Each structure stands twice: as structure tokens, then as C-alpha cells.
Structure 1
């Protein structure tokens, strides 16, 4: 996503009309390109399988892929065709079927859903109307359209469901249907941990045009000095915890975590399998020996917390994670991304389903933060110790069901995105959240620890 807030039409002075029109057209072109790119990915994920796989539920944790596809179209219709465009409904009769709050994922296959061909026709018809709305809508004048916010919200919504569909593909049993080149090789990363100085920094944002309500407003936050791991915890490091009996040792687990580990029978990260004396991991239908240098993925919050205790550390708070990712000690300002303000590219981070696994640590030196912390963006979502809550000054916009209804101790915050997260749906201020028992998501973690007075001097 480009910096749309710098291009929206705001000028009213003499000579401003032509530049404003040009800026508005650039913004329209940008929105159209982002909508098209998201749809191309949705099409890839749904056309990679046959219609039987599209309508089948591959896990009780996930919707059938065909539900996700039609839900994407329904949200686009509700917000852009009806609300922004003021047009007549395309399919008002299906609104309830695709309301995520009315039907749990486990029960969605029982609904009279649109079939594959009907879903494809529906999302195509909606998209055609959306492009017409985009051409005719002034991208200013109300909060919903300023900077093309509503269009950006829908782009992000589709990309988020694309990542959800990618997770469904990971849970699917059968021959591989997705393909991508391997990630780049790893490289040196320096010391194992980095000292982050104490003091205030600017957290959150009030300027990103497409930032969602839970990222707002920008505010001062402060930390004590702390150390954070230079990279996410790797398969090789996590394997030491497994080999040391970490899953059978109650000392390392919280009371809640231990109860869950026993009930769920956890013995290793999800999709790990032991073949003789070697561990393998299955990813998108392909089973291969564990790569010790890749970040561990498909661990729940409780597993991450237990590992951190075993290692003599802890999980970072959300405030600490964002400070490590954004704070530039040379200038005192918070960057948009760890490497600066420019948009992510293949040099900076493993994003956008460019690869189908996390990259080995050290694969993206150009993406390191000023303090020398690597791979904060992409590869794996990173669990933090923080509950999901609104910032001071939080304001619901445009609807409470996006963020506010999830606030509280039931959900833990994840940061940084994964290899399946698209750049349009990610910023260094972006906040994800999930139940602490979830393992189907592309989640890993890194550790932190307090700095002693001598270490921080």
C-alpha cells in the first residue's frame, strides 16, 4: 500500500484544482490495482482445488473455501456497493448466510451456501459495480471515503481472508496444489539479542490513511530498557525445548497453558512429525525434514510462553514489540516499518505468499530495524504477552465488530505478519489477535527479557 494520505485531494487554493484531480486519479488507480491484486490471489486460492474441495470443510476451525469467497463479495457489496455507492443490493437475501457473527465456522457447511459457480458469478458482479462506484465517488468529504478508506478496508479484508484460506490449504489433506519458489537463504544476524533503550516513543498512528481503528490514535508509550531476540525463535532452538522434555515439564507452563497442553495432548508444534530420530514438518501437502534455521511456526501462545520460561526469558509486551520494530534512536521518531518509511519489497520481508514457508533467519538484512532486530515483518506472526485492548482515545470506526467486540483477556495480540500476509494488510502498527490456544495460524514468536541496571547503563 502506498502512502495514500499524501496523495488525497486536499488543496483548495489557487492553482490547486488540476493537481488535486491528478492526485485523485492516482489514488483511484492505486485502489483499482490493489483490488485486482487481492482478487487475483483469491482466484488462485480457490481455483487451485476442484469444486469438491471448495465446498468441503477441511477443519472445524475453518470455513469451506467457498464460504470465504462469497463472504469476501458480500462484505464488498455491503460497504462499497450499498454504503459508499448508494446502489441497490445485488443479493440482499444472502446477507445473513455470510455474517461471520451469526454462524460459527464449524456450522457453516450446514448452511444453504452459494455453490462454486454461483459464488464466482456473484463476486464478479459485485466487483464490476465496485469499479463503477470507484470511478464516480469523490475520495474526500466524509471519513468513510477520505483517502479511499472504505476501499482500503475492503482490500485488507479480502487479503486477510486470503491468508485465512491459505491456512485452510495448510489443513487440507491431499496432494499439493500450491506452488512457490523457496525463500532466500539465511545469513549472519549478529548477536542473539539486542538492547532496546528505555524511554518514550510514538506508538500507533493517526496518519496512515488505511489504518484500522485499533491502530489509532498515535500516542506516547514508554518502556524500561529490555533485550529482545534478534530473530524469531527457530525450529532448531525450539527443538531443544522439545528434546529437553519441555512439553512434559509443568515448571515451564502457566496453569492455563499446562491444562490446555494436557487436554490437547501437545507434544510438538502442529504439523511436526517424528520419523525415526528426525523431525519432519508437513507444509501444504509436502513433508520434509525440519529446517533448523527457519522460524518455528504453528505454535500457540501457551507453547511460546512455555518456551520463553524454559529459556529464562519471557514474551515481549505489545509495546516492547512495536518499539523494537519502529523506534529509531538516532532521530527519536517512529518509522512506518523497521527499515524506514518505504513500502515492503522482496528485499525487506517475506510477505504476500511469495513463498510458502518462513525464510531462514538472516534472509532479509535490508529489513532490519535501526537497532539491528531482524524479520520483525513477515515470516511468522509473533505472539506477545499483551491482551487485546483499545488504546487510550480509541474510537470505533466504522463498526464495532471489527475490533471492539474482541477486546479483553480472551485474546492475545500478535504482531508483524507472516509469509501469508499481504503488504496491503500490514503495517508496523498493525495489530492481530487470536485465542491463546490457536495453532492453525502462521504464528511463531521471539523472546525478550528485562535489562539489568549494569546492562542498560
Structure 2
């Protein structure tokens, strides 16, 4: 138990350090809303503390509510992001004091930790890191230069085939025993797939530029009907944050730079990803195809937690906000899956063709609002995490989901085709 408490305390601290880094701005910047798609950063800051109080103090430790009057302010289901600036939110200093007090009480409560509540701690840690990625998307939408420091990831790049063949057969999808897994990752179940090919690496900016220059945005043949309507209404002609001034440029955290054509494309929505795949003579992989390529070990006939094995090992994926951009395609050969597919975790979230739904035998836990209320055709599943995803919130079973029009997220794609 002592080792578990120490591990949870360290992970809580790491998540909070990241939150403080992402909110180390002037008060005016913290309370501003840079886009109706995003909350003011001060809302995210107090929200992670309120969520922590709800689950780790009230639920796990049985502590009386500290600030019950603010619960509705920081309930994501009560108030859409566009309306949050109009709420009587805690000002920055008060928000910091509140989450600091919550954290102090949570660390004190670890002395009475019951093993059955360990998942709630993992859930809260992942939740804060997920908001860290959301706050990074807010920073990307800001037009001023960022205070964030980029570290050199120094990823090795080696040649690899453009596609990987995945033979037909049954594999185990999802998990029933991963202690950190959310309800939508459970339970483990068998899925039988026909043979298919999947891209060995994500689609690059250079690959995507060929689609643009071939008139892909102007050719209705490649587009889902709703996507074509969206593209025409919004007059979209390139990934978000791209523009052309003689050469193609992009704006990244307030800095304008040439588009690096060897990196995976990011900031494309599902409709753009689907159109590119059709243009390329392929399709987006199903969620099951993505997961089999990512974690099934055909030699041992068992799944892995990560493409490279069951332990998180540094240097095998671009995760954790170290580099503030994707690594070149072909990076991290040592992070490949048993089939040889690369960069399945980190770099960019990857759109799949699958609507978000529960697995056979799904049970909501610990509350239906985490997953169940989003099930249905309105949301598409993304897999794999991005460079902005912390390793604590990334594994080969992890499922993300969003509307097919979302572009501010760090999402790209890889393609598949039937054998």
C-alpha cells in the first residue's frame, strides 16, 4: 500500500505541475475566451480541482463538500463552453487557492486509502492530464506567442514500407483487467476481422499537400455529403492553421513557420480525413482494425498494453508535451507494434471510421456521463493519443471521441484498405 500511495501522490503532483505550467499567464489571458470552442483557461483550472474534490474527497474519503455552491459552475454538462465566460467563475487567485486546498486534503487522505478506490485516483489523474491537452488546444488558438518551452525529442527515423498487411483472424479487443481503463475500454471481447492493409505510418503533411494540390477540397466525389456541406459553408481549403504566402506556412503556438512536410498532418477533422482516404484510394480504418494493428501479438496470441509491450518505456513514442509538434513519419522504430506498424501512440490522434459506442457487455462506471451519454452516430472515435497526451492517459485501448467537424484537436489520420 505504501508503494501505491507514493505512486499516486507522484502522479497527482506531475499532473498539477502541468496544469500550473499551462496556466502561468496574466489574469487577463486566463479569463479571456479565445474561441467559443474552448473554455477560458481559468475555468479548466478550477474545474480539475472541483472534479478532484467530488471524487477523491467527497466520494473516496467521505469529506464534507468544501464549496458546494460552485459545483454547477464547473459541471461540463450544465454549461457549454461558449457560455462559460458569462458565469461567476472563481478569479485566478481564488481558483489557485481552491485547488491547492483540495490537493492538500487529498494528499492527507492517502493515509486512509482503500484499494478499491485506487481507480478513482487514476481517473482523476487522467482527467487532469486530459484537460492539460485541452488547454494546449486553447493555447494553439491564441494568436500570441506561447511561453511553452519545446524540448528536443531527437527521434530516430528509419525507412519502412508504406503499408503493413494484417492477416485475417480473431483477436481480443478492449480490456477487463487494466486498472486505469475507463468504462468504454471494457470489457475485453473477441473480434474476428478479415485481412486488411494499414498504413505503416500516419499520413504526412507532404502526402496531404498532394491532396490539396490535386483539387481534393474542390471535388465533391471524395466527400461525405455532410462533409461537403461543411467544407462549402466554411470555405475550408487546407488543415486548420495552414495558409499560403508563396509557400505553405502554419501558425503553431503563435509562431509562423513553414509547414514541415515530413511530419504527420494534424488539425484535420474527420470529414477531411475521410476525403483524403477516399482520394488516396483507401479508407479510414475501423476502430477494431486500428486496435488489432496496435496491440495484438500474433506470436503469443495475446494483447499488449502498448504497441511495444506492457510497460511504458521512454523513447518509444512522442508523448507528454515534450516536443510541441509531431515527430517525422518513420520515427520510433523501437515503438512499433508486433506487426511493425509505427507511431500508433503519440504524435497525432488518428480518426477511425467507427461511431462511438459501448462494447458488448458495457457497464457505466463510475458515472454514465463519462461515456454512455455520448454513444451514437454523432461522435467518431479517435485512437492513439498525440504529442500533447500524457503517458498516464495513453494506452492502446484508450478511446477518444469527438464531433466529425472538430479541427482544433491534435488529430490526423492513417489509412487502411481491404485485402
TM-superposed CA distance for 1:175, in Å, is 2.3
Looking at structure 1, the residues matched to 369 and 242 of structure 2 have their Cα atoms a distance apart, in angstroms, of: 35
> d(CA) in 1 for partners of 2:378 and 2:33?
26
2:75 is aligned with 1:105? no
Of 222, 244, 255, which residue of structure 1 is paired with 2:214?
Answer: 244
CA distance, structure 2, for counterparts of residue 117 and residue 176 of structure 1: 21
Q: Distance in 2 between matches of 1:181 and 1:353?
A: 9
Counterpart-to-counterpart distance in 1, 2:6 and 2:136: 27
Kindly indicate whether the alpha-carbon contact (under 8 Å) linking 1:182 and 1:356 is maintained by their aligned counterparts in 2. no
Structure number with bigger Rg: 1
In structure 2, the partner of 1:379 is 347
- Aligned match of 1:230 in 200, 204, 226? 200
Match of 2:319 among 351, 359, 382: 351
Residues 298 and 442 in structure 1, CA contact (< 8 A), matched pair in contact too: yes
Q: Structure 1 residue 185: deviation in Å? A: 4.7
* CA apart distance, 1:328: 1.3
Give the superposed CA RMSD. Answer: 0.9
Corresponding residue for 1:73?
A: 49
Is 2:268 the partner of 1:292? no
Between the aligned partners of 1:280 and 1:356, the Cα distance in structure 2 is: 17
Instruction: Confirm or deny: 8 A CA contact 1:203 1:322 kept in the other structure.
Output: yes
Deviation at 1:189, TM superposition (A): 3.4
Asked whether the 8 Å contact 1:186–1:359 carries over to 2, the reply is no
For residues 214-247 of structure 1, what are the alpha-carbon distances to aligned partners after superposition, in whole Å with 9 as ceiling and x for unaligned?
0000010111000000000000000000011100
Q: Distance in 2 between matches of 1:197 and 1:133?
A: 50
Q: Which residue number corresponds to residue 22 of structure 2? A: 45
Give TM-score scaled by structure 1 length: 0.91
Which of the residues 100, 109, 112 maps onto 1:136? 112
1:446 aligned to 2:414?
A: yes
- Which residue pairs with 1:317 in the alignment? 286
Q: 2:160, 2:330 within 8 Å by CA — same for their partners in 1?
A: no
Aligned to 1:6: none
- Aligned residue for 1:404? 372
- List gaps (5 residues or longer) in structure 2: none
- Summarize the Cα distance change of 1:358–1:396 in structure 2 as closer, same or farther, 3 Å threshold: same
Matches of 1:198 and 1:205, distance apart in 2? 21
Residue 245 of structure 2 is matched in structure 1 by: 275
Deviations 1:347-402 (A, max 9, x none): 11000101100000122111011111000000000000000000000000000000
Deviation at 1:266, TM superposition (A): 0.8
Query: Which of 98, 103, 116 in structure 1 is aligned with 2:92?
Result: 116
Match of 1:19?
A: none
Secondary structure (helix, strand or coil) at the match of 1:280 reads strand
Structure 1 partner of 2:65: 89
Once structures 1 and 2 are overlaid, which stretch shifts more, 369-378 or 328-337?
Answer: 328-337
Matched position secondary structure for 2:165 = strand
Alpha carbons 2:203, 2:415 under 8 Å: kept:
yes
Contact 2:155 2:332 in 1 (8 A): no
> 1:181-233: per-residue Cα shift (whole Å, max 9, x none)?
24435522311000001110010000101100000000101110000000000
Counterpart residue number, 2:180: 210
Q: Distance in 2 between matches of 1:27 and 1:213?
A: 22
Query: Match of 1:341?
Result: 310
Q: Residues of 1 paired with 2:48 and 2:403: CA distance? A: 23
Native 8 Å contact 1:163 1:420 kept in 2: yes
Equivalent runs, 1:148-187 vs 2, <5 Å:
148-185=118-155, 187=157
Aligned position for 1:63: 39
State the partner residue of 1:3.
Answer: none
Structure 2 length-normalised TM: 0.99
Supply the distance in 1 between the matched residues of 2:295 and 2:331 (Cα, whole angstroms). 20
- How many residues were matched structurally? 419
